[in-house]
Structures are given as C-alpha cells and as structure tokens.
Amino acid sequence: MAGVSSKSLEAALVSLEPKLATATTALARDLFSILELLDSNAGLRRALTDPTRESAAKAVLASQLLTGKVSAQAQAIFLELVAGRWGSARDLGDALEVLAATSAIAVAEGQGGGSANLDKLEEELFAFIRVVGSSHDLQRAFDDPQASAAAKGALAQKVVPGASEVGALLVRQAVAAPRGLKPTALVQRFVELVAKRQQRWIAYVSVTRELSAEQLTRLQAGLNNLYGRELKINVSIDPTLVGGIKVVVGDEVVDATAATRLSDLRRRLAV
C-alpha cells in the first residue's frame, strides 16, 4: 500500500488510537465482519473507493449496509475509513484488516500485563506459524477450498489450544479469510502489528556517556512517570548528541529541542 492509500491508513490509525483504551474483542470481530462483507462484494468496494463519488454518498451507502449489523463504534470507524482516499478498491479492505487486527492486539495489551501480554500474544502467533509451516497435512487442510471457515477455525484452535482469546481470534481470521495469502503469511502480518504495538513499550534512549546503575534507575523512574507506563529501556551512547539525551518511544521522538519535557530527566541523571 502506497501513496494516498498509505496516508489514509495512517490517518485512520491516528484516529483509532484514542479508542483503543476501551476496545474489546467484539469491536475487532465487528470490523472483521465488515471486511468479510467488503471482500464478498466487488461492486461495493468499487463504489466505496470511487474518487468521483461524493463522500456523503459513500457514507450513506455504508450506513445502509451496516446499521443494526455491527456496533455503532465499528460503524463509525468504518465510515471514517470510507471518507479517506484509496488508490485501489483492495486497499480499503487491507486498511480495514489492519484496523481490526490492531483493535484486537490493543485488547491484549490492555488486559493488565501490557508488554508481557503482547509478548505472549506474539509467541502464540509464532507457534501457529511454526506448527503449520512444518506440516504439509495442515497446510493442505487450510488451503482446501471445500472446507468451511468454521471447520478451518476449529482446526486452528487445535493447532494452538492454549491461545488467548485475542490469539485465537487472529488465527481463526487468518485461516477463515486469508484474502489471497497463505494463513501463515497473514499471521506473520499480525505478528508485525504486534511488534509495532510493542514499540510503544520500549524507550530507545541516546545519551552522551555511559550511565551508572543509579542513573539508570533514575532514568527508568523518570521515563515511567513521563509516559505513564513501565517501559523497557534500551540505552545507546552518542557522544555527538546535542542536549545530552534523546528518547524515542514508538513514533514519538523527544530530543533536546523539547527542553521542557527532558529537563526533569536531565536533572535526574545529573551526578
């Protein structure tokens, strides 16, 4: 996905982020069900991505199809997505798949364990990839066009029997609707989304000189307080750094130009 589609997806993810704190697996399921509707109707995809069609008309069409079938929140998220610009009809579905999977992953993240839950989810998804990748029988079963989505989902549950609710949901989605990919390839994409989410829990810190154990403890406490979560700290030395410290958490870069946010951290690190 590139160009206007990439920008539309980025905007949709920014809009989705505030909603993720209260997201549930029901929201993810609703978004996946909308994706199923899109994938089953090429005419609908074209109508919703037609650049000559007014945004209001697209919104009316989408609302008529979804009202009463999914939650109001899922419908609102999709309407925002439809309002974006898409380079191809396929891109709209791809973007919706990302939003649905991200919503599910955020549920795992918010279930008390934070980063640890994401680590567990990642391992569940990797376990599916390893087991299926090593079994030709399983690969044939999941590729069988005659097998129902329910049957494939039941088989996937046996492959990862101890998976969490979110892990099971993502694996079932991958085997029931791989959308032209091998199920393991789609699960790998979900793994990449988990990894992207994990970056929000890692602080990449650059400093001009090596820190003592006491300074590292102060840095940990200061960053945890600054971001309101227990972060993993990855420290590197950069003697050329201006301002003494630079912090990268997810997509956010806090460097010497953000003096007000880093002044407290610099005081904590002072000898």
Q: What is the pLDDT of residue 177?
A: 95
Dihedral sign for Cα 156, 158, 160, 163, please. Answer: positive
Which residues are CB-contacts of 29 (< 8 A; sequence separation ≥ 6)? 169
Q: Confirm if 170 and 190 have CB atoms less than 8 A apart.
A: yes
Average pLDDT over residues 104-109: 94
Q: In which band, very low, low, confident or very high, does the pLDDT at 257 lie, cut at 50, 70 and 90? A: very low
Q: What is the pLDDT of residue 191?
A: 93
Q: In which band, very low, low, confident or very high, does the pLDDT at 1 lie, cut at 50, 70 and 90? A: low
Q: What is the pLDDT of residue 243?
A: 65
Question: Is the pLDDT at 42 greater than 90, yes or no?
Answer: yes
Average pLDDT over residues 148-154: 95
Q: In which band, very low, low, confident or very high, does the pLDDT at 262 lie, cut at 50, 70 and 90? A: low
The size of the chain, in residues, is: 271
Counting Cα atoms < 13 Å in the Cβ hemisphere of 113 gives 11
Question: Is the pLDDT at 232 greater than 60, yes or no?
Answer: yes
Average pLDDT over residues 227-242: 81
Q: What is the pLDDT of residue 260?
A: 46
pTM given for the model:
0.81
Q: What is the pLDDT of residue 269?
A: 61
Q: In which band, very low, low, confident or very high, does the pLDDT at 258 lie, cut at 50, 70 and 90? A: very low
Q: Alpha helix locations (H) across the chain?
A: 3-16, 25-39, 42-49, 55-66, 72-82, 89-109, 115-133, 136-143, 149-159, 165-176, 183-198, 213-227, 259-269
| Dist. CA 139–CA 259, nearest whole Å | 54
DSSP class of residue 258 equals -
pLDDT tens-digit series, residues 169-179: 999 999 999 99
Lowest mean pLDDT among 72-81, 138-147, 195-204: 195-204
CB neighbour burial string for 225-261, b if at least 16 within 10 angstroms, e if fewer = ebbeeebeeeeeeeeebeeebbbbbeeeebbeeeeee
pLDDT tens-digit series, residues 170-221: 999 999 999 999 999 999 999 999 988 887 778 888 888 888 899 889 888 8
Question: Is the pLDDT at 256 greater than 60, yes or no?
Answer: no
Q: What is the pLDDT of residue 155?
A: 96
Q: Confirm if 8 and 86 have CB atoms less than 8 A apart.
A: yes
